[in-house]
Chains A and B, each alone.
Chain A
Amino acid sequence: MSADDAKREDRDEAYEEPKVEDLDTGSEPAVTAAGADSIIG
């Protein structure tokens, strides 16, 4: 593997495909229910 290939592989590993995670959980406030209350608490 060339140095360029190795660098590219490192960069590719850093890349994660776009993701959208639904947080609707019924009547619970969604963000809190998902355990992310540290952001708003």
Chain B
Amino acid sequence: MSPQVLTRTLVRRVPTRVRDRAGDSLRLRRLAHRLGYAGERTREAPPVRPVGVKLELTALCNLRCPFCYTDSPRATRERRLDLSDDVWRGVVGEAIELGVLEAVVTGGEPLLRRELTLELVERLGAAGVGVTMNTNGWFVDEDIAERLGAVPSLHVKVSIDGATPELHDGARGAIGSWERAVRAVDLLRRRGVPVHLNHVVTPANHAYVGDLLELAWALGVASVRLTEAFPVGAAARAGEWAVDRGALRRAAASFRARRGEDVRVNVVPGTLAGLASIESLAPAALLVRPDGSIWIHSVQPFAFGRVPDDSLAECWQRIVRGWRDPRIADWAGAIRSRDDMPRSGLAPYRDPALDVTSTASLPSRGDTHPEPPPDLPERTQGLGAGSPAAARAQALELVRERRYARAPMRAVEEAGGGLYVRVLEGGRVFRLNAQAALVLDACTAGTLADAGLALEARFPGLDPARALDDVLMCIRMLEARGALVPYESPSATSSRSANADTNAEASAVARTASIP
């Protein structure tokens, strides 16, 4: 048995709880990787061309999080310049030509460059590239949601750093940012866009992770990524960021026990894992920074060239040849714990990157920025924790008004009010009990709140909060099976017209089937 296989076998035999604990240690993670353990992500050599590309369209942001890994508040204060629109268009064109499968569009806050971001997301989506866009949600309005809703395979990650406005706004430095983020999630979900939450766990909000997960469930997001702030970027300048990761995993487990797997919860080692695997996991993607410098990814402050002077293809070849550069290995090897990072003198996003294509360090350079940088908000202080219940109720006010359309289906009624359903697209067949059938009917004609009222009317005395909770759960199940689509999603219009025929036929079948 090879050392690699032996290591993997041994690691798999370690109880999950112990493995989780060990995984919190950079030294143990690195040791496991050196012995050949790379989990399921074994990759000994980079692919011929990059599989993915991460595009930091701007260094700027309208918020001022003290833990910002890209140190965007500082870039904003310095009015740092980004690549021009035309250069970004060229980068995206080349990435598509190179055949990338996935792209992450991010910042700073990418929607500060609203038109450029939308144009590039649409172009990537139209080319068949899977796109993920990161945003703080502040600028997402009906128009943006409409355009993003039409992009095939788009996923949007919205940052929410607190279960309450007080926690989130306190962290993000701007009053109203929680409300805007929650509204963004709602606008996107109404159009069927899969939304994920990024939640940075800090000593200020870690006690409320369970409440955050409940908020995520109510909003109907697909997943929540829980990650602690690691000392890179702004977090490398000041602040204590360590949290009890065991407590996070317990909060996630408790949520799963309560809500099942409706919302995937990932407790992400993030930077820690990236550092541990630096020597053993070959790169598959590249990162284009706002100034055009090309990195392997966010953890490694090393540049392999710069667009537009160098093409992505040239930079990728340098990465293929140089990802094991001894300067990178030396730097990574000297970081043995999270506290070593700020002391390393080369913290990603805090210090100028080292250009590994030459002996020179990167000169600072930027192109013209088409829009003036935003004014940073006055720092908010001392907001407290607020009330998670009140915050959830506020979010539910939005969610209650969501509407859905019934997908084309054939259906046969049961005598007791249940329903057998076959969704035409995909052909899934399932049975709804009477309550689920009631929700399907009520949602087709009205809002989610109407469905709750329908349940209450059918079962007098049913607690309205429970009714709404059950409607939310039911809609998740129906949406997951393609039986309901958000009313404002592009596919809803065709669903509604196609249903006119199939429902008429289904009614006829149902009548026949009900004859004893």
Residues of chain A at the chain B interface (Cβ within 8 Å): 7-8, 11-12, 14-24, 30-31, 34, 36, 39-40
Contacts and interface: CB of A to CB of B under 8 A. Distances in A.
A19 B433 CA distance: 6
Interface string B411-423: 0101000001010
Contacts of B3: none
Given A20-B431, A23-B430, A7 B414 contact: no
Contacts of B474: 18, 20
Given A12-B462, A36-B420, A39-B412, A18 B432 contact: yes
Contact of B473 (A16, A17, A21): A17
B481 interface: yes
Contact of A19 (B412, B432, B513): B432
Contacts, number: 70
A1 to B, nearest CB: 14
B443 to A, nearest CB: 11
A20 B414 CA distance: 14
A7 B513 contact: no
Contact of B461 (A7, A31, A40): A7
B513 A39 contact: yes
A25 B177 CA distance: 47
Interface in B463-483: 470-471, 473-474, 477-478, 481
A15 B439 contact: no
A19 B435 contact: yes
A20 to B, nearest CB: 4
A20 B429 contact: no
A8 to B, nearest CB: 5
A40 B431 CA distance: 14
**A-side binding surface: helix, strand, loop or mixed?**
mixed
Nearest to B476: A20
Contacts of A21: 430-433
A16 B433 contact: yes
B481 A20 contact: yes
A7 to B, nearest CB: 7
Contacts of A39: 412, 414, 420, 513
Interface residues of B, number: 26
Contacts of A20: 430-433, 436, 474, 477-478, 481
Nearest to A22: B430
Contacts of A36: 420, 431
B15 interface: no
B428 interface: yes
B462 A11 contact: yes
B485 to A, nearest CB: 16
Contacts of B461: 7-8, 11-12
18 contacts: A8-B461, A11-B460, A15-B459, A16-B433, A17-B470, A18-B435, A18-B470, A18-B471, A19-B433, A19-B436, A20-B436, A21-B433, A24-B430, A30-B422, A30-B429, A31-B420, A31-B429, A36-B431
Given A39-B414, A39-B513, A11 B432 contact: no
Nearest to A40: B513
A8 B23 CA distance: 50
A23 B459 CA distance: 27
Nearest to B451: A18
Contacts of B431: 20-21, 23, 34, 36
Contacts of B429: 22-24, 30-31
Contacts of A19: 432-433, 435-436
Which of A15, A23, A39 lies at the interface centre, i.e. has the most chain B CB atoms within 10 A of its CB? A15
Contacts of B422: 30
Contacts of A34: 431
Contacts of A14: 459
B42 to A, nearest CB: 32
A39 B438 CA distance: 20
A11 B432 CA distance: 21
Nearest to B467: A15
A30 B461 CA distance: 36
B488 to A, nearest CB: 23
Question: Among the interface residues B414, B428, B461, which one has the most CB atoms of the partner chain A within 10 A?
Answer: B461
A11 B462 CA distance: 8
Contacts of A22: 428-430, 481
A15 B432 CA distance: 15
A39 B431 CA distance: 13
B110 to A, nearest CB: 37
A4 to B, nearest CB: 9
- Minimum-distance CB pairs A-B, first 10: A18-B436, A18-B474, A30-B429, A18-B435, A20-B477, A11-B461, A19-B433, A15-B459, A23-B429, A21-B431
